[in-house]
Structure 1
Amino acid sequence: MKYLLIMHMNPAVWDSLSEDERNEVMSGHGAFMSKIKESGEFVFTQALAAPGQSSVVRVRNGVPAVTDGPYTEAKEFLAGYYVIDCKDRDRAHEIAAMIPDAKVEGLGIEVREIVFSDGSAA
């Protein structure tokens, strides 16, 4: 079963960490990826730019209008994600708990089963 492990970022939480704590989280992703690649459960990962670098496209009366992002004002935003392939939801939770962000007070990993994929990204 494939799962999307979603990493949400809260800039206030991130900014409250020391430089050493931030470096530990960032370097921890390398160790995490090595571990799940070794187990064969890694599919792929993506890290996203901050919302301030995004744009929003809306089509009104057939005319596209592009505005600077973010899409919504929120204290948290989608920072990136992992796609894994594992035996069940319990294992997906175990893997999510290995992601360094899950160990930071105020952050967490959202686990969602992927119910459809065309396979081109996997």
Structure 2
Amino acid sequence: MGKYLIMIYDNEAAWAAADPSVDEANHLRHGEFARANQAALRGGARLGESNTATSVRPDGNGGFAVTDGTFAETKEVLGGYYIIEAADLDEALTIAKQVPAPMGGIEVRPIID
């Protein structure tokens, strides 16, 4: 068994333009996903919007540059994640395909212990 990170990417502009009922329905679908996959789930959370992010990078002089916002300008931003335990990548992908992501996509990566 290995652990995998399922990253949920969202289009924040699409969410902002959507009716609030779309967000409510998506929240319910995530609850259904969590209940259906509770044996594999090890954690997860919905993240704040990208405008609440703070980026930290080395400044090249032994210090750090701290800036508001994400590292890159992009349409899709990391909106949430799940940590799962699965026998292999195939099982992790089977679980990941069930994650609601109506306005973005999913990325799966193994967690290195």
- Letter of the 2:3 counterpart: K
CA contact (8 A) 1:13 1:107 kept: no
In the superposition, the TM-score normalised over structure 2's length comes to: 0.83
Change (3 A) 1:63 1:88: closer
Aligned residue number for residue 79 of structure 2: 79
CA distance in 2, matches of 1:11, 1:35: 27
Q: 2:105 aligns with which of 104, 108, 115?
A: 108
- Letter of the 1:109 counterpart: I
CA distance in 2, matches of 1:5, 1:77: 14
Aligned residue number for residue 120 of structure 1: none
The higher relative CO (CA closer than 8 Å, separation ≥ 6) is in 2
CA root-mean-square deviation = 1.8
Aligned residue number for residue 30 of structure 2: 29
After superposition, the C-alpha distances for 1:11-32 in whole angstroms (9 at most, x for unaligned) are 1332353322221111211121
Please say if 1:44 is aligned against 2:43: yes
Identify the structure with the greater strand proportion. Answer: 2
Aligned residue number for residue 54 of structure 2: 55
Taking only the aligned residue pairs, the percentage that are identical comes to: 35
After superposition, the C-alpha distances for 1:39-87 in whole angstroms (9 at most, x for unaligned) are x211111322222112222343233332212222111111111011112
In the superposition, the TM-score normalised over structure 1's length comes to: 0.77
